[in-house]
């Protein structure tokens, strides 16, 4: 344990020239954000003997976009949102005719910048490039997650269930098969299944009411509770690495003078460190505006509910590609997530949206969950970059960003944390 004089405060411990312990000097870092990305980043830095402080506006970790998302660690399913298929549906989406995706009216200049960049990424070439880049990051995340759990035995409902993407359209299934071949070239393990093989693997699909033409099976994909992960990481960071957790602390500004970096909180407190890593989700655009993050992330609101298990036990995570709804078994319950409201920046639960999601899930897998026994509902805002890849880079001499993970924040958290930690320490990325 580090012995700190009672008269010391947080400002004394986090100075631009590092924390002095005996004759050794330890570098310091402030991580802004205590969701899955922020907690993973704090761990990656703490492992490198950097003294970390995590700053979070909520009163405990994992209460934002990480709280009750789809719970799927989709290492092999990293398909970019910007795609030729999305572009074909754009007019339908804009006028509100797509049941799964809605674009909220916006005149925010930053949002307009994002939309223009997003459209540039909808070409076939860009879609494949970004999807495969995400696949590589997904592989890195799986490796780092395995190392973390092996080293510390964290319990957060992690289980290798595997994942099925089910298709009701011959055209979408044909496109998916082509993408499987590209992913296999990088080492992904995915299987192309017929309708019969899909039902044999996941019996709950026997009740699927639509035209199930086939599915893509990713056997190495996992599930896990992201909120429990954040709580477990808090315990690990505090107990093993003496990390400082500052909850209910909102950051007003970031600054960097080249010698050190610092934050100023809304309460007027100044905190200084060798390094700052911005993992603030959708708040990163505001905090990082002067450092080039204006228009870099778009709020994308999603919904989920957790229900009791149904008559037929769901064995795998299932995503209905057409309806864009995911269902997965999670610690004896069923977690269902879906809907995307682009440019919606609030966490309010719209009862109509939840009812719609419950109805859609009930139509997809009627026997997999007890839709009359809903344990909890949730809405959260995911920060989406325009190319569907997280923004992991230095944005000034002593400030780095790890933001923009969108709907794959839980999947990418451990890998992106390693990447940003290597940037901070000067390791080869």
Assign residue 355 the CATH number of its domain: 3.30.9.10
Helix or strand (DSSP H, E) at 279:
none
| Residue 84 belongs to some domain of the structure | yes
CATH number at 22 reads 3.50.50.60
Same-domain check for residues 34 and 103:
no
Same-domain check for residues 233 and 170:
no
The residue out of 370, 385, 400 marking a domain boundary is: 385
| Residue 3 belongs to some domain of the structure | no
Instruction: Walk along the chain (429 residues) and give the pLDDT tens digit of each residue.
Output: 333 233 333 333 333 334 444 446 789 999 999 999 999 999 999 999 999 999 999 999 999 999 999 999 999 999 999 999 888 888 788 777 777 888 888 888 999 999 999 999 999 999 999 999 999 999 999 999 999 999 999 999 999 999 999 999 999 999 999 999 999 999 999 999 999 999 999 999 998 988 899 999 999 999 999 999 999 999 999 999 999 999 999 999 999 998 889 999 999 999 999 999 999 999 999 999 999 999 999 999 999 999 999 999 999 999 999 999 999 999 999 999 999 999 999 999 999 999 999 999 999 999 999 999 999 999 999 999 999 999 999 999 999 999 999 999 999 999 999 999 999 999 977
Q: In degrees rounded to 5, what are phi and psi of residue 370? A: -90, 95
Same-domain check for residues 192 and 332:
yes
| Residue 2 belongs to some domain of the structure | no
**Number of domains composing the chain:** 2
Helix or strand (DSSP H, E) at 83:
none
Same-domain check for residues 157 and 17:
no
In the block, which residue shows the tokens 């994308």? 300
Same-domain check for residues 300 and 284:
no
Distances (CA, A) of 420 to 44, 64, 355, 395, 402: 9, 21, 39, 12, 7
Residue 21 structural domain:
10-65+228-294+390-425
| Residue 406 belongs to some domain of the structure | yes
| Residue 407 belongs to some domain of the structure | yes
Same-domain check for residues 320 and 193:
yes
**Region at 206 (left for phi over 0; alpha for psi -120 to 50; beta for the rest):** alpha
| Residue 186 belongs to some domain of the structure | yes
Closest CA to 355 of 305, 317, 315: 305
Same-domain check for residues 251 and 311:
no
Same-domain check for residues 184 and 333:
yes
pTM, whole model, 2 decimals? 0.92
In the block, which residue shows the tokens 């809907």? 339
Same-domain check for residues 305 and 173:
yes
| Residue 165 belongs to some domain of the structure | yes
Same-domain check for residues 237 and 372:
no
Same-domain check for residues 25 and 116:
no
Same-domain check for residues 411 and 331:
no
Q: Which residues pair with 21 in a beta bridge?
A: 24
| Residue 268 belongs to some domain of the structure | yes
């Amino acid at each position: 344990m580090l012995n700190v004089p009672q008269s010391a405060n947080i400002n004394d411990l986090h100075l631009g020239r590092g924390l002095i312990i005996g004759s050794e000097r330890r570098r310091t870092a402030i991580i802004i954000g205590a969701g899955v990305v922020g907690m993973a980043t704090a761990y990656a830095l703490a492992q490198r003997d950097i003294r970390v402080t995590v700053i979070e506006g909520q009163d405990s970790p994992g209460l934002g976009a990480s709280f009750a998302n789809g719970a799927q660690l989709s290492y092999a399913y990293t398909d970019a949102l910007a795609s030729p298929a999305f572009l074909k549906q754009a007019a339908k989406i804009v006028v509100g005719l797509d049941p799964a995706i809605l674009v909220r009216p916006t005149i925010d200049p930053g949002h307009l910048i994002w939309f223009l960049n997003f459209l540039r990424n909808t070409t076939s070439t860009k879609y494949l490039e970004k999807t495969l880049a995400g696949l590589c990051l997904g592989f890195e995340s799986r490796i780092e997650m395995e190392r973390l759990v092996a080293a510390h035995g964290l319990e957060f409902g992690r289980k290798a269930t595997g994942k099925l993407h089910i298709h009701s359209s011959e055209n979408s299934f044909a496109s998916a098969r082509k993408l499987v071949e590209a992913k296999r070239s990088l080492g992904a393990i995915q299987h192309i299944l017929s309708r019969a093989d899909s039902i044999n693997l996941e019996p709950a699909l026997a009740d699927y009411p639509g035209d199930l033409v086939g599915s893509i099976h990713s056997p190495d994909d996992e599930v896990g509770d992201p909120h429990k992960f954040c709580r477990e990481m808090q315990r690990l960071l505090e107990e093993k690495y003496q990390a400082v957790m500052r909850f209910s602390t909102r950051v007003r500004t970031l600054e960097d003078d080249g010698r050190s970096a610092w934050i100023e909180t809304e309460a007027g407190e100044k905190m200084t460190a060798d390094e700052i890593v911005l993992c603030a989700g959708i708040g990163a655009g505001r905090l990082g505006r002067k450092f080039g993050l204006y228009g870099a992330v778009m709020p994308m609101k999603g919904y989920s509910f957790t229900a009791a298990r149904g008559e037929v036990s769901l064995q795998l995570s299932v995503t209905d590609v057409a309806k864009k709804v995911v269902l997965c078994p999670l610690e004896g319950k069923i977690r269902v997530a879906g809907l995307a409201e682009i440019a919606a920046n609030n966490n309010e639960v719209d009862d109509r949206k939840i009812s719609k999601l419950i109805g859609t899930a009930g139509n997809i897998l009627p026997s997999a969950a007890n839709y009359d026994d809903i344990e909890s509902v949730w809405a959260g805002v995911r920060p989406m970059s325009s190319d569907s890849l997280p923004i992991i880079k230095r944005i000034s001499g002593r400030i780095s960003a790890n933001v923009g993970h969108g709907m794959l924040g839980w999947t990418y958290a451990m890998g992106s944390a390693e990447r940003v930690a290597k940037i901070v320490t000067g390791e080869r990325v």
